[in-house]
Structure 1
Amino acid sequence: MVNSNRLFNMVDNIPLPGDPLPFNSPLYIERPPLESDAYTEISKPGGLLRIRASHNMGKSSLISRLIHQAINQGYSIVTIDFKQADRQIFVSINKFLRWFCVNVARQLSLIPNINNYWDEDIGSKVSASIYFEYYILEAIEQPIFLVLNELQYVFESSQISQDFLPLLRSWYEQAKQNETWQKLRLSLVYSTEIYVPLNVNQSPFNVGLSLKLPEFNTEQVTEFAQRYELKDINSSNIQALMNLVGGHPYLIHLSFYHLQKQTISFQELLQTAITHDGIYSSHLRYLLNYLQINPELLQAYHQIIISQSQDYIPAQIVHKLDSLGLIKRDENHNFKPACEMYRLFFNQEKLIASDHKSLRIKQLEAENQQLKFLVNIDSLTQVANRRYFDERFQLEWRRMERIQQPIALILADVDRFKLFNDTYGHQAGDECLRQVAQMIDSVIKRPGDLVARYGGEEFAVILPQTDAQGALLIAEEIRKKIKKSQIKILRFSQNNPVTDTANVTISLGIAAIIPQKYLALKQLLAAADQALYQAKQTGRDRSIISLDFRYCQLIN
């Protein structure tokens, strides 16, 4: 037990529940051997630490102590929070890795100099590795403790995840043989299980030390009450509280915070727990609102609340409910509410009320469709974004494999776009991309086809049930339409708006195939990309069909 004479003035200095605790906070409750194991791992050359827990379980407070430990050992500290990254950062792996590397350099007080190490011919992943090995790790003499926080935001972009996560694994593997890489100590922090499919030999989630933050046990909650100097709380009170909220650190902290402030008695706390006047009201309403704007989660949690035996719940739904801290498994491996308070509250709210069920579901579906629209659309060009492209590409690939019909992919790139930007400015460049996107979209007629911004000045078109010849006709229509059109550029002359015009051209690469089990969709993507490269190399302003993926009855 912590000596009360060493505690701060409780009345004036109680940290707010949910805020990370400082590294020296007397309110931090250790969960042995978790902390000592973590300290040992980050002390190892090339160490890798994986910390997983749902929201408000104490990840940030633990990281604060790990950072303090690393500073005491003379390490340099870098923390990357993926929650702070703009959505556009996840457009392509090249953009993502450049953002990542520049952030690391700046936190180490280094001039980024990234262009000196970046080479498009060898790819962004190799460039990032070279940048770290020959610039970052060479420039910093001491070990670097690199904390990658909120990594679940990377999971949401499958294309980024499937490149970035194996890259982290490769850095860990290099540290086994390369002294330079041994200076890098990684900590991966996330709130849900990884649900991106990765090869077992490429995943960073089966190496290093894995820590899942557990709930507090009875002894730890008792210790927490003593550190809060709650002299009137006895073992029966603690058991009653844990019967209601379990050992969830945030809910326990919230309870003790209000009891210490004397804003509520213990009996009132229990009696008003699931009411609007209770101390948990804001937390419960936040969870309820989140479920209501995500109908798939709402339906699944309703099933968990009312049923002892459950139908199949998709893994991604399970991961999201788990990351919110809403579920745990019982002794029969079925899911159940994470604590009794959740069961009581959500049962009371009747997540899907029978008398309003149809109307409410329709309302939720409409809201969800609007949210999906906003999430899936590129804000600049108003066509589909890369994330939605990845999802649809996988779905259409599987559908065409099932019905044994061809699928065609067109990759298109605005020619000499950097020169356009340098000549007319980035604002005009953005306007150019908007107009090009809309011209491409105007050519695509079928509702099942998709136009997406693939990244930067590159666009993609998915054409289900289309062979190479059909895709070529569409590509040529796009190319000719853009070539004969003029991009309108607004500028100001003597404070008066003036519209200039400019011409651009576009190069297109085409690939088409009937999907087979021995083929991967990334092969079709690579073939279209190679065809686009050939179009660029042979003079631009042309459409070229892949030599390898050119399915068509008329083309052999």
Structure 2
Amino acid sequence: MNNLYAVDKFIESVKKILQDKPLGSIQWFVLYQSCLGKTYGEIAEASGYGNNYIKEIGSELWQDLSIALGKRVTKKNLHLALNNHLQSEIANGENQLQQKFGEESSLEIVSPDFFSASKIEFPSGPVALSSPFYINRPSLEELVCNEVLQPGCLIRLKAPRKMGKSSLLNRMIAYARDQNYQIVYLDFQEADRDIFVSLDKFLRWFCVNVTRQLNLLPCLDDFWDTEMGSKVSCKIYFEAYLLQHIDDSPIVLALNEVHRIFEHPNIAQDFLPMLRFWHEQAKQDRTWQKLRMVVVHTTEIYIPLKLNQSPFNVGITITLPPFTLKEVQNLALRYGLDWSGNSEGAKRLAPLQAMVGGHPYLVNLAFYHLCQGEMTLDMLLETASTPVGIYGQHLRELLTLLQAEPELILAMEQVIATDGKVELDAIAAYKLESMGLVQLNGNEASSKCELYRLYFSQQFEKQNSANAYSKFTI
């Protein structure tokens, strides 16, 4: 079974079969790879886990499926067992239709071996927990999952947009749930604009949201004291009410899109230090050790807000890395690009890896278009840096950010003027790195990828030509 449609059908079938026993991300990965016919050794190599651990995961999976289906399921007969189950479901559906309408049903049976690229969703937003398109990077996932076990921890996930922050956050939350931790998830994009009018209004909104997600009744007025101030009131509310009225299981407070707060200095200058203080309290107070905080924000926001450094440096910082060539090859296989599965395929993918620098979203976008049959890899690479290429919108957004600060334009011109590294002003280097445009070694910068070097060199050349023409005509 070498196509994604068949795999998707089987995955959906397993979801229904094991609906009372949800699987973790590594279990879905083993199942997906097994459906593709991969050996335990190949799965272990692709995932980064040990061979024995992967075998153990597989063994538990087949046992759970055997119990649920009432017949023995193994890795070898997995295709047959799931295919028989699907055909049985289809037959039962037809029988029910016939019984209901008293006539032959015209239900169309689609072969599970039929591949349809239209079944692949356009890459947008976090990658679903059960999605085969999530690339597991054990060193990253294990670091985050181990850290959330630490009493009173504070984890920061930061990176430019579409690097996979929310996808990683969701997997950490799933892991915490498996540990029976209570989860509170707040996305600051959901907050109305008037919530940010004052610190008091914002903190009351914050406390009410946390309270309801813990299935408690809000009673802010019992703890809120205007004379003590909003921050102290908020602290007392957490300390004397929320953290006291839950059992001993820790709370994971996951705060996503925190850069929305950076846009409101009147809130940020008090709220962020408050989180820092809570984290420090946990070092000496067992009550606060129940609270595990995860803060997620994008770094491009530093540019329009004129920030010369991160407004929130505390706790352990996780910066998401780009995909390696091996991970790019792994993802290509999951998109059904079978030609990518050997050493020759890796050579064909190397120019794409160099073009986008392993940027997770840009790699996914490339494979989406390739598996739709819209273009060849050579065509994609040839047009990648042009306005009509698949990355046009992404590139225009970056250009707009750059144009907001002329000194960054000059700094980026220096970077693309050489194939090597160039020393930049520390602040300019920091901001370009925050945008994901350069990689740094100290203050020495080089272009993050060929895509950015080509695109910005073309744009700067046009701009310089236009300026020269303007001076000439004057």
Task: State if a TM-score over 0.5 links the two structures.
Answer: yes
The 3-state SS of whatever aligns with 1:71 is: helix
Shift of residue 254, structure 1, vs aligned partner: 0.8
Indicate whether 1:261 and 2:393 are aligned: no
CA deviation string 1:416-468 (max 9, x = no partner): xxxxxxxxxxxxxxxxxxxxxxxxxxxxxxxxxxxxxxxxxxxxxxxxxxxxx
Indicate whether 1:324 and 2:431 are aligned: no
Match of 1:38 in 2: 144
Match of 2:296 in 1: 189
Quick one: which amino acid aligns to residue 83 of structure 1?
Answer: Q
> How many residues align structurally?
353
Quick one: which amino acid aligns to residue 210 of structure 2?
Answer: V
RMSD of Structure 2 on Structure 1 (CA): 3.1
Gap change, CA 1:358 and 1:10, over 3 Å in 2: same
**Residues in 1 aligned to 2:260 and 2:211: alpha-carbon distance in whole angstroms:** 22
Contact 1:145 1:184 in 2 (8 A): yes
CA deviation string 1:327-348 (max 9, x = no partner): 222x574233321111111111
Match of 1:244 in 2: 355
- 1:158-173 to structure 2, matched below 5 A, reads 158-173=265-280
Contact 2:282 2:289 in 1 (8 A): yes
**Residues in 1 aligned to 2:461 and 2:207: alpha-carbon distance in whole angstroms:** 45
Indicate whether 1:288 and 2:399 are aligned: yes
Match of 2:187 in 1: 81
Contact 1:50 1:188 in 2 (8 A): yes
**Residues in 1 aligned to 2:117 and 2:34: alpha-carbon distance in whole angstroms:** 14
Indicate whether 1:228 and 2:335 are aligned: yes
**Residues in 2 aligned to 1:245 and 1:266: alpha-carbon distance in whole angstroms:** 13
Quick one: which amino acid aligns to residue 226 of structure 2?
Answer: E
Shift of residue 229, structure 1, vs aligned partner: 2.5
Shift of residue 132, structure 1, vs aligned partner: 0.8
Indicate whether 1:5 and 2:111 are aligned: no
**Residues in 1 aligned to 2:171 and 2:436: alpha-carbon distance in whole angstroms:** 23
- 1:392-471 to structure 2, matched below 5 A, reads none
- 1:147-166 to structure 2, matched below 5 A, reads 147-166=254-273
Aligned with 1:68 (options 169, 174, 187)? 174
CA deviation string 1:111-141 (max 9, x = no partner): 3222221111111111110111122222332
Indicate whether 1:353 and 2:468 are aligned: no
Specify the structure having the higher radius of gyration (Cα).
Answer: 1
Gap change, CA 1:132 and 1:341, over 3 Å in 2: same
Aligned with 1:144 (options 243, 246, 251)? 251
Indicate whether 1:20 and 2:120 are aligned: no
Contact 2:148 2:292 in 1 (8 A): yes
Gap change, CA 1:147 and 1:310, over 3 Å in 2: same
- 1:44-63 to structure 2, matched below 5 A, reads 44-63=150-169
**Residues in 1 aligned to 2:195 and 2:469: alpha-carbon distance in whole angstroms:** 38
Contact 2:414 2:422 in 1 (8 A): no
Match of 1:210 in 2: 317
Shift of residue 256, structure 1, vs aligned partner: 1.1
Contact 2:411 2:424 in 1 (8 A): no
Shift of residue 349, structure 1, vs aligned partner: 1.8
Match of 1:179 in 2: 286
Quick one: which amino acid aligns to residue 279 of structure 2?
Answer: Y
More strand by share: 1
Structure 2: 5+ residue stretches without partners: 1-29, 38-111
Shift of residue 309, structure 1, vs aligned partner: 4.1
Moved more, 59-68 or 3-12: 3-12
Match of 1:456 in 2: none
CA deviation string 1:148-179 (max 9, x = no partner): 11223333444433322221122122223333
Match of 2:21 in 1: none
Shift of residue 63, structure 1, vs aligned partner: 0.9
Indicate whether 1:126 and 2:225 are aligned: no
- 1:482-497 to structure 2, matched below 5 A, reads none
For CA contacts below 8 A with separation 6 or more, give which structure has more relative contact order.
2
Shift of residue 146, structure 1, vs aligned partner: 0.8
CA deviation string 1:353-386 (max 9, x = no partner): 234339999xxxxxxxxxxxxxxxxxxxxxxxxx
Gap change, CA 1:352 and 1:321, over 3 Å in 2: farther
Contact 1:175 1:181 in 2 (8 A): yes
CA deviation string 1:299-328 (max 9, x = no partner): 543444346645536x3x655543432222
CA deviation string 1:48-90 (max 9, x = no partner): 2221211111001101111111222222222222334344434
Gap change, CA 1:301 and 1:268, over 3 Å in 2: same
- 1:370-389 to structure 2, matched below 5 A, reads none
**Residues in 2 aligned to 1:305 and 1:279: alpha-carbon distance in whole angstroms:** 22
Gap change, CA 1:126 and 1:286, over 3 Å in 2: same
The 3-state SS of whatever aligns with 1:180 is: helix
Shift of residue 231, structure 1, vs aligned partner: 1.4
TM-score (norm 1): 0.57
Quick one: which amino acid aligns to residue 182 of structure 1?
Answer: Q
The 3-state SS of whatever aligns with 1:33 is: helix
**Residues in 2 aligned to 1:197 and 1:334: alpha-carbon distance in whole angstroms:** 18
Moved more, 32-41 or 222-231: 222-231
Contact 1:4 1:227 in 2 (8 A): no
**Residues in 2 aligned to 1:267 and 1:352: alpha-carbon distance in whole angstroms:** 25
Quick one: which amino acid aligns to residue 33 of structure 2?
Answer: N
Shift of residue 245, structure 1, vs aligned partner: 1.0
**Residues in 1 aligned to 2:369 and 2:463: alpha-carbon distance in whole angstroms:** 33
TM-score (norm 2): 0.67
**Residues in 2 aligned to 1:5 and 1:312: alpha-carbon distance in whole angstroms:** 52
Shift of residue 190, structure 1, vs aligned partner: 1.8
Moved more, 95-104 or 54-63: 95-104
**Residues in 1 aligned to 2:130 and 2:402: alpha-carbon distance in whole angstroms:** 36
The 3-state SS of whatever aligns with 1:270 is: helix
**Residues in 1 aligned to 2:312 and 2:401: alpha-carbon distance in whole angstroms:** 30
The 3-state SS of whatever aligns with 1:216 is: coil
Q: Determine what percentage of the aligned residue pairs are the same residue.
A: 44
**Residues in 2 aligned to 1:360 and 1:189: alpha-carbon distance in whole angstroms:** 45
**Residues in 2 aligned to 1:268 and 1:204: alpha-carbon distance in whole angstroms:** 43
Match of 2:451 in 1: 341
Shift of residue 294, structure 1, vs aligned partner: 5.4
Match of 2:66 in 1: none
